[in-house]
Amino acid sequence: MEIDSLDEYEVGESIVSAKSITKTLRSTSHFAGRIGEKLYVIQGTSHQGTPIYTKGRFGQEGEAEVFYVLISAKADRAES
Protein backbone atom coordinates (compact mmCIF):
# COMPACT_ATOMS: atom_id res chain seq x y z
CA MET A 1 0.00 0.00 0.00
CA GLU A 2 2.83 2.37 0.88
CA ILE A 3 4.67 1.87 -2.43
CA ASP A 4 1.51 2.69 -4.43
CA SER A 5 0.39 5.51 -2.08
CA LEU A 6 -2.85 3.73 -1.17
CA ASP A 7 -4.58 4.18 2.16
CA GLU A 8 -6.74 1.72 4.08
CA TYR A 9 -9.93 3.47 2.97
CA GLU A 10 -9.10 3.03 -0.74
CA VAL A 11 -8.30 -0.64 -0.28
CA GLY A 12 -11.48 -1.25 1.73
CA GLU A 13 -13.52 0.65 -0.87
CA SER A 14 -12.07 -1.46 -3.70
CA ILE A 15 -13.03 -4.69 -1.91
CA VAL A 16 -16.53 -3.51 -1.01
CA SER A 17 -17.22 -2.07 -4.48
CA ALA A 18 -15.92 -5.13 -6.36
CA LYS A 19 -18.66 -6.90 -8.29
CA SER A 20 -17.50 -10.42 -7.43
CA ILE A 21 -14.60 -12.67 -6.59
CA THR A 22 -12.64 -12.68 -9.85
CA LYS A 23 -11.20 -16.17 -9.38
CA THR A 24 -10.43 -18.85 -6.84
CA LEU A 25 -6.96 -20.38 -6.78
CA ARG A 26 -5.26 -23.21 -4.92
CA SER A 27 -2.07 -22.30 -3.07
CA THR A 28 1.10 -23.93 -4.36
CA SER A 29 3.49 -22.16 -1.98
CA HIS A 30 5.22 -24.20 0.69
CA PHE A 31 5.48 -20.97 2.74
CA ALA A 32 1.75 -20.16 2.67
CA GLY A 33 0.79 -22.59 5.38
CA ARG A 34 -1.10 -25.38 3.72
CA ILE A 35 -0.55 -26.37 0.10
CA GLY A 36 -3.85 -26.46 -1.75
CA GLU A 37 -5.74 -23.98 0.45
CA LYS A 38 -8.21 -21.74 -1.39
CA LEU A 39 -7.15 -18.20 -2.27
CA TYR A 40 -9.68 -15.63 -3.48
CA VAL A 41 -8.82 -12.86 -5.98
CA ILE A 42 -10.94 -9.70 -5.88
CA GLN A 43 -10.49 -6.86 -8.39
CA GLY A 44 -11.87 -3.42 -7.58
CA THR A 45 -10.92 0.22 -8.06
CA SER A 46 -9.99 3.04 -5.71
CA HIS A 47 -12.02 6.26 -5.72
CA GLN A 48 -9.30 7.64 -8.03
CA GLY A 49 -9.88 4.81 -10.51
CA THR A 50 -6.70 2.84 -9.72
CA PRO A 51 -7.28 -0.90 -10.22
CA ILE A 52 -6.55 -2.69 -6.95
CA TYR A 53 -6.15 -6.44 -6.78
CA THR A 54 -6.54 -8.25 -3.49
CA LYS A 55 -5.83 -11.88 -2.78
CA GLY A 56 -7.09 -13.34 0.45
CA ARG A 57 -7.79 -16.49 2.35
CA PHE A 58 -9.91 -17.51 5.30
CA GLY A 59 -8.15 -18.94 8.34
CA GLN A 60 -8.43 -19.58 12.06
CA GLU A 61 -6.82 -17.76 14.97
CA GLY A 62 -7.88 -19.65 18.04
CA GLU A 63 -11.69 -19.61 18.07
CA ALA A 64 -11.98 -16.72 15.58
CA GLU A 65 -12.33 -17.03 11.81
CA VAL A 66 -10.21 -14.39 10.08
CA PHE A 67 -9.67 -13.20 6.51
CA TYR A 68 -6.08 -12.49 5.46
CA VAL A 69 -5.53 -10.08 2.56
CA LEU A 70 -2.59 -9.37 0.24
CA ILE A 71 -2.95 -6.09 -1.70
CA SER A 72 -1.38 -4.99 -4.99
CA ALA A 73 -2.15 -2.04 -7.23
CA LYS A 74 -1.69 -1.54 -10.95
CA ALA A 75 -0.88 2.16 -11.23
CA ASP A 76 0.60 3.99 -14.21
CA ARG A 77 4.00 5.19 -13.01
CA ALA A 78 4.88 7.74 -15.72
CA GLU A 79 7.99 9.72 -14.79
CA SER A 80 8.47 13.36 -15.68
Report the pLDDT value the prediction gives residue 74, as an integer from 0 to 100.
Answer: 59
CA nearest 41: which of 33, 49, 51?
51
> Rounded to two decimals, what is the model's pTM?
0.61
* Rounded Cα distance, 80 and 71, in Å: 27
Model confidence at 80: pLDDT above 50: no
Tens digits of residue pLDDT in 21-55 = 888 888 776 665 566 778 888 888 877 788 888 88
In the chain, where are the structural domains located? 8-73
Evaluate the CA torsion angle 50, 51, 55, 61 in order and state its sign.
positive
Q: Give the chain's mean pLDDT.
A: 77
User: What Å distances lie between residue 45 and 4, 5, 11, 24, CA to CA?
Assistant: 13, 14, 8, 19
